[in-house]
Structure 1
Amino acid sequence: MEPVGEHEGRGRLSAPRLRPGTPERAGLDAGELRRMVREVRARTGGGRPWAAGAVVVAGRGPVLAVQEAAGWAVRYAAYDEVSDTAVELPPGERVPMTVDTPFDLASLTKLFTSVAAVQQIERGTLGIDARVGAYLPDFTAARRHGVTVRQLLTHTSGLRPELPLYDCADDAQRLAVLRAERPVGAPGTYRYSDLNMLLLQHVLERLTGRPLDVLVRDGITRPLGMTATGFGPHPDAAATEDQRRPWAKADRGMLRGEVHDENAWALGGVAGHAGLFSTGRDLAVFCRTLLAGGSHGPARILGPDFVDLLLTPPGLGFALDRPYFMGELAGRGAAGHTGFTGTSLVLDRATDTYLVLLANTVHPRRPDPDHTPRAQAATRLARAVRAIRAPGPGGPADLRES
């Protein structure tokens, strides 16, 4: 059977492809977008910046109005825990950030796992309210407690946030631990958990007979032309952390191009909750595809009804209306996610806008979480829409592909 995503628009109208353009062409206020870029740049400067570097991409409709990079993809050689300071590389050895720099997406990977699952739901091979045990009878705890596919996608299974799979001796032990893991919370109660996406990965792989990286490639990234997106290793990626105990869960040294998440690393780099690398522009294509009802150019990865299933409350894999990182875009059905390494995206169907902010905030060591820059950038985008007067030439009513 042909995978969803390899249907190149047969019998369907193609959706306009994403293309670079001016803020005015996108129906956005250029002044607000300049302020957004200036604020992101300011967050990458100084001795203890929010991030060593960042890429910000934003647009409306099929128009990509902002593509900017700031700071460094690689700035530090190590972290000195004695002096609590970052050890800077000599200027000639640093790597500047560019708009084409790939990033470790961390938990943005969950969005791709969710889309892969909804593709199977659209095909009728996966039941959204089916019990996980029907597909994974050897996962005895999930089967005994009646965990459903919908609960995995909505983080309402009751599973704890994570397990120390990185401490297991081998893959057999890791699998045994997952099979035995039972919910610790009441089913139906929201509790964000990486384990939901790990179980969903096993469901999809058992159901299709194909590994997750192949499902994502064949069903999402290849048909959409997202050539810079895939599971690692990715040696040209922005550096992440000088990963060492006690602040991390493994001793791996300075990471660049290897997945940061310790469990994803222990699982070989391909995991339902983490492991993908991508660029700002590729993620803009992903956002635009969902805003266009599942199509981009001649490619279709989902039908509009199934995009609705993903993005309407409570949301499947996507977080909805979260002001802490969506700023003033939140409140009307905006959807998105954040990643531990400093990544985030938000798409707003009410205004047909999207924002991708990628930053290596954990370089050279993970800080206390600070979502303020994400919320600030999203608010700038929301205000860029509101600042536009009635539609005219080049405005929101004029966003069709010419």
Structure 2
Amino acid sequence: MVAGRGPVIAVAEAAGWAVRYKSYDPESDTGVELPKKSRVPTTVDTPFDLASLTKLFTSVAAVQQIERGTLGIDARVGDYLPDFRAAARHGITVRELLTHTSGLRPELPLYDCADDAERMTLLRAEPPVGVPGTYTYSDLNLLLLQYVLERITGRPLDVLVHEGITRPLGMTSTTFGPCPGAAATEDQRRPWAKVDRGMLRGVVHDENAWALGGVAGHAGLFSTARDLAIFARTLLAGGSYGPARILGPDLVELLLTPPALGFALDQPWFMGDLAGQGAAGHTGFTGTSLVLDRATDTFVVLLANTVHPRRRPADNGPRARAATRMARAVR
């Protein structure tokens, strides 16, 4: 965990194991532990699979294009991706993708497709199933946004994130996988998972992101708590960090004010007592979370591999408690 206020890092601590188990035993419902000499301790510089925190970087990359005038926030997806017939026919907009109000379902089983051609056919034909304008959290929103960004720039998402965000900010430990030194995630097998891949380390946990080659708008990034602290401090400072500027203050305002673009706002279930005055952030399925609160100029980054050795129902208590302790320390 790394937490701080303004330019000050107040807490930088690590605990537990980045790699503890070699497999999961479904009969005993326990992990099969590695010998102690083979386990890998967690440090504050251990990279973690960020899971859905990737969505924040895709959102920033989109707002950068809005700032440059190459992307219209209220433009229709079909204007950029006419081959995505269902999105074009239903008039889905860029704003709806960024605010999860497109009506698209949460996900599609892209991991079951035979090849990329079949996956793209499925995505292009997928219509909204909900009422447009109504909030429904969906990985598909950020996947479509990825394809919009790649179409208008002619560059893949990993290059956009690197050149537009991580390289100028000096976030040298933030990258799409593979990331060999990362904390392990899951012994990914059916029936608790969607595919059979075995114990995962350094490759993306999300099944759809894996099926798409590891680079996806909704998942795929690996990073450290220190690097994410730079990302948080940049947004708290209005888009600049040292000599680097990735967004103007007015665009950061657009990104972080209601209804917010890509970020969740004031969610006590993971923001604890930081929620309530415009705190923004996100969580990731693997056990990650980031919260930044402009009212107090504070941030909290918590990275964990809670799906190691297998996924369980989410326990958001540690996330909320970390944010609450920060809130009580500064108010």
**Does the alignment reach a TM-score above 0.5?**
yes
**Letter aligned with residue 66 of structure 2:** I
Stretches of 4+ aligned residues off by more than 4 angstroms:
none
**Letter aligned with residue 83 of structure 1:** S
Deviation of 1:353 (Å): 0.1
**Letter aligned with residue 184 of structure 2:** A
Paired positions, count: 331
Corresponding residue to 1:328 among 264, 267, 273: 273
Q: How big is each residue's C-alpha offset from its partner over 1:27-83, in whole Å with a ceiling of 9 and x where there is no partner? A: xxxxxxxxxxxxxxxxxxxxxxxxxxxxx1000010111110000000011100011
**Letter aligned with residue 291 of structure 2:** V
Match of 2:226 in 1: 281
Match of 1:145 in 2: 90
Deviation of 1:293 (Å): 0.1
Task: Give me the whole-angstrom Cα distance separating, in 1, the residues matched to 2:166 and 2:36.
Answer: 35
Deviation of 1:234 (Å): 0.2
**Letter aligned with residue 378 of structure 1:** A
Task: Give me the whole-angstrom Cα distance separating, in 1, the residues matched to 2:200 and 2:83.
Answer: 35
Match of 2:119 in 1: 174
Task: Give me the whole-angstrom Cα distance separating, in 1, the residues matched to 2:28 and 2:318.
Answer: 27
3-state DSSP class of the match of 2:303?
strand
Match of 1:66 in 2: 11
Match of 1:19 in 2: none
Map residues 338-353 of structure 1 onto 2, 5 A cutoff: 338-353=283-298
Bigger Rg, structure 1 or 2 = 1
Corresponding residue to 1:226 among 161, 167, 171: 171
Match of 1:201 in 2: 146
Q: How big is each residue's C-alpha offset from its partner over 1:215-248, in whole Å with a ceiling of 9 and x where there is no partner? A: 0000000000000001000000000000000000
Task: Give me the whole-angstrom Cα distance separating, in 2, the residues matched to 1:360 and 1:254.
Answer: 13
Match of 1:241 in 2: 186
Task: Give me the whole-angstrom Cα distance separating, in 1, the residues matched to 2:285 and 2:259.
Answer: 22
Match of 1:120 in 2: 65
Corresponding residue to 1:359 among 290, 301, 304: 304
RCO comparison, higher one (Cα < 8 Å, 6+): 1
Match of 1:106 in 2: 51
Task: Give me the whole-angstrom Cα distance separating, in 2, the residues matched to 1:363 and 1:85.
Answer: 11
Task: Give me the whole-angstrom Cα distance separating, in 2, the residues matched to 1:217 and 1:142.
Answer: 28
Q: How big is each residue's C-alpha offset from its partner over 1:234-278, in whole Å with a ceiling of 9 and x where there is no partner? A: 000000000000000000000000000000000000000000000
Deviation of 1:85 (Å): 1.0
Match of 2:262 in 1: 317
**Letter aligned with residue 232 of structure 1:** G
Task: Give me the whole-angstrom Cα distance separating, in 1, the residues matched to 2:322 and 2:57.
Answer: 23
Task: Give me the whole-angstrom Cα distance separating, in 2, the residues matched to 1:281 and 1:311.
Answer: 21
Match of 1:155 in 2: 100
Unaligned runs of 5+ in 1: 1-55, 387-402
**Letter aligned with residue 324 of structure 1:** W
Task: Give me the whole-angstrom Cα distance separating, in 2, the residues matched to 1:185 and 1:84.
Answer: 37
**Letter aligned with residue 102 of structure 2:** S
Q: How big is each residue's C-alpha offset from its partner over 1:330-349, in whole Å with a ceiling of 9 and x where there is no partner? A: 00000000000000000000
Task: Give me the whole-angstrom Cα distance separating, in 1, the residues matched to 2:327 and 2:102.
Answer: 34
Map residues 24-39 of structure 1 onto 2, 5 A cutoff: none
Corresponding residue to 1:86 among 31, 41, 52: 31
Task: Give me the whole-angstrom Cα distance separating, in 2, the residues matched to 1:100 and 1:327.
Answer: 25
Corresponding residue to 2:41 among 86, 96, 116: 96
Q: How big is each residue's C-alpha offset from its partner over 1:83-106, in whole Å with a ceiling of 9 and x where there is no partner? A: 111111111110010111000000
Unaligned runs of 5+ in 2: none
1:250 and 2:206 correspond = no
Q: How big is each residue's C-alpha offset from its partner over 1:281-313, in whole Å with a ceiling of 9 and x where there is no partner? A: 000000000000000000000000000000000
Deviation of 1:376 (Å): 0.6
Task: Give me the whole-angstrom Cα distance separating, in 2, the residues matched to 1:266 and 1:357.
Answer: 27
1:190 and 2:167 correspond = no
3-state DSSP class of the match of 1:69?
coil
Deviation of 1:123 (Å): 0.5
Task: Give me the whole-angstrom Cα distance separating, in 2, the residues matched to 1:379 and 1:99.
Answer: 21
Q: TM-score, length-normalised on structure 1?
A: 0.82
Deviation of 1:161 (Å): 0.1
**Letter aligned with residue 251 of structure 1:** D
Task: Give me the whole-angstrom Cα distance separating, in 2, the residues matched to 1:85 and 1:145.
Answer: 47
Task: Give me the whole-angstrom Cα distance separating, in 1, the residues matched to 2:205 and 2:13.
Answer: 24
Task: Give me the whole-angstrom Cα distance separating, in 2, the residues matched to 1:86 and 1:169.
Answer: 32
Task: Give me the whole-angstrom Cα distance separating, in 1, the residues matched to 2:276 and 2:110.
Answer: 37
Q: Aligned-pair RMSD on alpha carbons?
A: 0.3
